[in-house]
């Protein structure tokens, strides 16, 4: 298990900026608005050939009347409890705050190794700002500019000397699962139910989740990376810059996931925005599961599971391969089935079919229904092979690829699905013209050979 380094501090001291610099990423949203980060955000990092995990946390304030303050404080406390080392960030621009003293007292009681860094020190001429922080009884302070990099190496060298080396040979493969949907459909509630703890903030207020929050958990003999994302609302309703960043992060999470759980509000039914989100998932080639949440609130005389499933497929015709499951994240109804369904979808999403089997399927399909004519001649299919997984992607070599009608493409895909049992994953079928070296007739080869012999004889 990799060591865990947690970054803590009061709001707006630059924790997310430091997190992004250490992880060499832009995974944490950075904004001048205090309280942007609310949940724990994990990221891998490496320094001096030592690997570790970095955790970004929300701003620690005691006695804050803000609605989310108790949850943020609880998240910080949980992160410190799991940490091997803590980096406490202080604000060198605005100086000491009473909240800094409260946090230092808490960290001293925790017994963890703490590295105190004073941020927003952009050069040696500003290091005089450190003097007032020594009044807190701190022995060693690291001047730092998380934004510009001043003092960063000194802090990381000290941290690197303390971190133990770990053997990464036992790192297991993670099934990456992103939970996406409209605001307030129950994404965070589902994450907490699956994780078995209050892992992310849950509120009736839309837009509670801002970052894409990664949670690693084990179920059975497999490891999963669950990504809780911000609600994706219609563009016309998005005005704040911070919300735009949150939606961009949610959509980017689809690019690194294997399975997308599209959360639907079963009470409201499938909406136009749900279909747009499903379209985003389809375009990125993710496997997918539709989850009809809040099923405990549905009036059974109005709709049942079969009718709800038919309604989803009737509206999302391009996603008929995606399983539909009705659940309640609040009561736990059928939530345990989700992991089994994820495993089934993931197995198909990563499947590989040998070339011989694929060609037999295509040949049988061609005999059953002949390909259409192109300029009075029948299309000639040479051979087909699988070139990638995630999702399974096949290339079919044909003499006129541009002439293959989309209806015949769909027919061939359906034949592959039926023959291989890949009914829960997207499939891609690409048509290409067969290319190769120019072939010469035997007479032409003889002429070239004689000419070459004459050249050599001169």
Domain that holds residue 375: 355-432
The 10s digit of each residue's pLDDT in 385-400 is 999 999 999 999 999 9
Query: Are residues 157 and 199 located together in one domain of the fold?
Result: no
- Indicate whether 451 belongs to any domain: no
- Is the predicted pLDDT of residue 120 greater than 70, yes or no? yes
The pLDDT value given to residue 246: 58
| Domains held by the chain: number | 3
Domain-embedded: residue 307? yes
**Judgement on whether residues 155 and 188 belong to the same structural domain of the protein:** no
Domain boundary among 323, 349, 375: 349
Q: Residue 443: CB partners within 8 Å, gap ≥ 6?
A: none
Same domain, 56 and 77: yes
Residues of the chain with pLDDT > 70: what percent? 79
Q: Are residues 305 and 396 in the same domain?
A: no
d(CA 458, CA 456): 6
CATH code of the domain covering residue 395: 3.30.300.20
Residue bearing tokens 């995974």: 27
Residue 445 confidence (pLDDT) above 60: no
11 and 61 inside one domain: yes
Q: pLDDT higher for 140 or 443?
A: 140
Determine, yes or no, domain membership for 79.
Answer: yes
Residues 15, 57 contacting (CB under 8 angstroms):
yes
Same domain, 389 and 320: no
- The reply to whether 68 falls in a domain is yes
pLDDT, residue 118, reads 93
pLDDT in the model for residue 222: 87
Same domain, 69 and 123: yes
pLDDT at residue 84 tops 70? yes
- Structure confidence by residue, pLDDT tens digits, 158-186: 999 988 876 554 445 678 899 998 888 98
Residue 151 has pLDDT above 90, yes or no: yes
pLDDT at 35: 43
DSSP letter string, 92-111: TTT---HHHHHHHHHHHHHT
Length of the chain: 458
CATH of the domain at 9: 3.40.50.300
Q: Is 80 helix (H, G, I), strand (E, B) or coil?
A: helix
Residue 241 covered by a domain: yes
Q: Is the pLDDT of residue 202 over 50?
A: no
Determine the average pLDDT of the residues in 34-58.
Answer: 76
pLDDT band at 128 (very low <50, low <70, confident <90, very high): confident
- Distance of alpha carbon 397 from alpha carbon 406, whole angstroms: 16
Which has the higher per-residue pLDDT, 446 or 190?
190
pLDDT tens digits along 215-272: 778 888 888 888 877 767 555 544 454 445 556 666 777 888 899 999 999 999 999 9
Q: Answer yes or no: is pLDDT of 62 > 70.
A: no
**Is the four-CA dihedral 177, 178, 181, 186 of positive or negative sign?**
positive
pLDDT of residue 302: 84
**Domain annotation covers residue 437:** no
Are residues 124 and 44 both part of a single domain?
yes
For residue 213 the two structure tokens come to 């929050």
Residue 444 banded pLDDT, cuts 50, 70, 90: very low
Q: What is the pLDDT of residue 87?
A: 95
Question: Has residue 200 been placed in a domain?
Answer: yes
Q: Which of 329, 349, 369 is the last residue of a domain?
A: 349
Residue ending a domain, choose from 170, 185, 210: 170
Q: Name the H helices within 386-436.
A: 406-420
Same-domain check for residues 189 and 250: yes
Confidence of residue 34 (pLDDT cuts 50, 70, 90): very low
Choose the weakest-confidence range: 127-141, 187-201, 273-287: 187-201
Question: Does residue 184 share a domain with residue 158?
Answer: no
Residue 10 has pLDDT above 80, yes or no: yes
Q: Is the pLDDT of residue 440 over 50?
A: no
Q: Is residue 445 assigned to a domain?
A: no
Rg of the chain (C-alpha set): 29
At 75, the pLDDT band (50, 70, 90 cuts) reads: confident
Same structural domain for residues 299 and 369? no
Tell me, yes or no, whether 186 and 212 share the same domain: yes
Determine contact, residues 263/179, Cβ cutoff 8 Å: yes
């Amino acid at each position: 298990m990799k060591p865990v380094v947690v970054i803590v501090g009061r709001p707006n001291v630059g924790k997310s900026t430091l997190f992004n610099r250490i992880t060499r990423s832009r995974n944490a949203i950075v904004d001048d608005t205090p309280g942007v980060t609310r949940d724990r955000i994990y990221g891998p990092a490496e320094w001096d050939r030592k690997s570790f995990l970095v955790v970004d946390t929300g701003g620690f304030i005691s006695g804050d009347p803000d609605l989310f303050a108790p949850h943020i404080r609880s998240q910080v406390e949980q992160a410190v409890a799991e940490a091997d080392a803590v980096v406490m960030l202080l604000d060198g621009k605005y100086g000491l705050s009473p909240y800094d003293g409260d946090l230092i007292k808490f960290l001293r009681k925790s017994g963890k190794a703490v590295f105190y860094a004073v941020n927003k020190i952009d050069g040696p001429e500003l290091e005089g700002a450190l003097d007032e922080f020594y009044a807190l009884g701190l022995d060693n302070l690291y001047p730092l500019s998380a934004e510009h990099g001043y003092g960063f190496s000194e802090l990381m060298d000290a941290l690197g000397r303390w971190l133990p080396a770990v053997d990464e040979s036992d790192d297991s493969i993670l099934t990456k699962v992103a939970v996406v949907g409209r605001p307030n459909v129950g994404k965070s509630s589902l994450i907490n139910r699956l994780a078995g703890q209050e892992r992310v903030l849950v509120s009736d207020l839309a837009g509670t989740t801002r970052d894409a929050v990664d949670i690693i958990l084990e179920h059975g003999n497999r490891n999963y990376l669950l990504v809780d994302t911000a609600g994706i609302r219609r563009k016309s309703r998005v005005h704040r810059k911070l919300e735009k960043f949150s939606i961009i992060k949610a959509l980017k999470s689809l690019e690194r996931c294997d399975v997308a759980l599209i959360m639907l509000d079963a009470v409201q039914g499938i909406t136009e925005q749900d279909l747009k989100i499903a379209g985003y998932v389809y375009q990125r080639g993710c496997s997918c599961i539709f989850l009809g949440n809040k099923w405990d609130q549905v009036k059974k005389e109005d709709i049942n599971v079969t009718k709800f499933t038919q309604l989803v497929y009737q509206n999302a015709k391009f996603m008929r391969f995606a399983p539909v499951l009705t659940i309640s994240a609040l009561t736990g109804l059928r939530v345990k089935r989700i992991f089994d369904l994820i495993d089934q979808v993931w197995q198909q999403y990563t499947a590989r079919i040998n070339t011989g089997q694929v060609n037999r399927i295509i040949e049988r399909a061609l005999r059953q229904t002949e390909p259409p004519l192109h300029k009075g001649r029948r299309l000639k299919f040479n051979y087909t092979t699988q070139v990638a997984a995630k999702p399974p992607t096949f290339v079919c070599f044909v003499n006129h690829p541009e002439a293959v009608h989309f209806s015949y493409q769909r027919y061939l895909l359906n034949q592959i699905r039926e023959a291989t049992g890949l009914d829960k994953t997207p499939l891609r079928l690409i048509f290409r013209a067969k290319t190769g070296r120019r072939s010469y007739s035997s007479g032409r080869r003889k002429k070239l050979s004689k000419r070459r012999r004459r050249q050599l004889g001169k």
